[in-house]
Amino acid sequence: MSESPPEPAPHPPSRPAPPAPPGADAGRELPRPSAAARPGRALLGYAAVRLVGLAVFAVWAAVAGKDGFHLLKGRWDAVWYVRIAEHGYGYEIRLPHGDLHSDLAFFPLLPALERGLAAVSPLDAATAGMVLAWLASLAAAWGIYAVGTHVAGRRAGIALAALWGVYPTAFVQQMGYTESLFTALAAWSLYALLRDRWIVAGLLCVLAGLTRPSAAALIAAIGVTAIVRTARGRLTWRVVAGTLLAPLGWLGYVVFVAVRQGSPTAYFEVQAGWGNSIDGGVALARFVWHNLTGGNPLAGVGLVAALALLAWVVLLCVRRRQPVPVLVFTVATVVVSLVGAAYFGSRPRLIMPAFPLLLPAAQALVRLRARARYGLLAALALASGVYGAFTLLGPGPP
C-alpha cells in the first residue's frame, strides 16, 4: 500500500503591519515609488481650476472690450522676454527719475526656448512664450503632485497641485513669465533629491539657475541637504557631483553679465536699476508702516495679517517636519521674496514657486467630504480668476 503524500506545513501567521509613527495623519497614504507616474487626476484637477480662472478672465476682458489673448501673451515682463528672444540682449530704458532698466535683469532660458520654438513652428515668439508657459505649468503641476505624494500621500499630492492652480497670482502660470518653468524645474529637482538622485537634481538646478535669480533658494536646498548627508556619514560621489553642479547655471549667467558689462558686480547693479536690491526687508517694512499710518489703515492691517498668516504657515511646515530639501527651499524662497526692495505687489508672485507652503492646506483639504472639497476648490478658483482679471486689466504688473 503506497504512502499518502505528507500534508503541507501550515503557513506562518502574517505579521501585523507596524503602527503608524506618532503624529502621523490617520488617513495618510504611504507613498509608492510609482506614484509620480500616475498624475492623471492631479493634472485634471489642476487644469480644471485653471480653466475656471481663465474663463473668469476671458469674460471680464470681453465685457471690458479688451483682447484677453493679447494680454496673456504680451504684457509687462513677457514683453522683455520676447524682445530678448527676437533680438538678443542689449536693450535699455532710462526712466525719467534716473533708474536704468536693462534686459540683462532677465535670465536666458525662457527667451532661448521661445526663440527655438518660434524657429521650428509658425508661432511668433510671444505666442511661443505662452505655449511654453502652458506646457511648463502642466509639468510643474505634475512635479508638485510628485513631491506632495512622496511627502504626504497621493490624495494630498493631488490636492496640492490643485491648490497651486488657485493661488492668487496663478494667472501668471499661463503667461510668458518664468514662474511656471522655474516651478517645474524646482519641483522635479526636489523630487529627485527626495529619491536620492543627486545628479538629476543638480542638472535640473542648473536649468533653474538659468531661469530665475530665485534659483538661489534651490541651490541652498541642495547644499543644506548635502551637509546633512555628510553629517550623517552618508556622503557619496553622487552627492558631491550634484551639489557642485547645482549653482553652475545661476553663477554662469552672473559671470556672463559681469564679463559683458566689465564689472564683477554688474548683475547686482542691473537689478538695483530695477529697484530689486537686497535691503533686508526695509522697503517692505516701510510699505506696511506707510499703509498703517496713511489714509487707509485697513490696508495696513490687511498687510500685517497677510504677513502673519505667511509666518504661521512657514512655522506649520517646520513643525510638521517636512523633508530637509523641501523645507529649506520653501523658507529660502520666502526670505528671498521678502528681503528685496521690489514693490509689494510683486511679492505674492515671487513666493508662488514655494508650493510646499500649500501642503498643510492640502492635507486639511483631503479630510473634507468630497462635496465640500470640490465646492471649496471651485470657490477658490473663482476668487483666483477674479483677482487675476482685476490685475491683468489694471494698470500695474503683478
pTM assigned to the model: 0.88
Amino acid at 365: L
Mind listing the pLDDT tens digit of every residue in the chain (398 residues)? 444 444 444 444 444 444 443 333 333 444 455 567 789 999 999 999 999 999 999 999 889 888 888 888 777 899 999 999 999 999 998 877 767 889 999 999 999 999 999 999 999 999 999 999 999 999 999 999 999 999 999 999 999 999 999 999 999 999 999 999 999 999 999 999 999 999 999 999 999 999 999 999 999 999 999 999 999 988 899 999 999 999 999 999 999 999 999 999 999 999 988 888 787 888 888 888 888 887 778 888 888 999 999 999 999 999 999 999 999 999 999 999 988 877 667 888 999 999 999 999 999 999 999 999 999 999 999 999 999 888 888 766 66
Q: Give the C-alpha separation, 154 to 28, whole Å.
A: 9
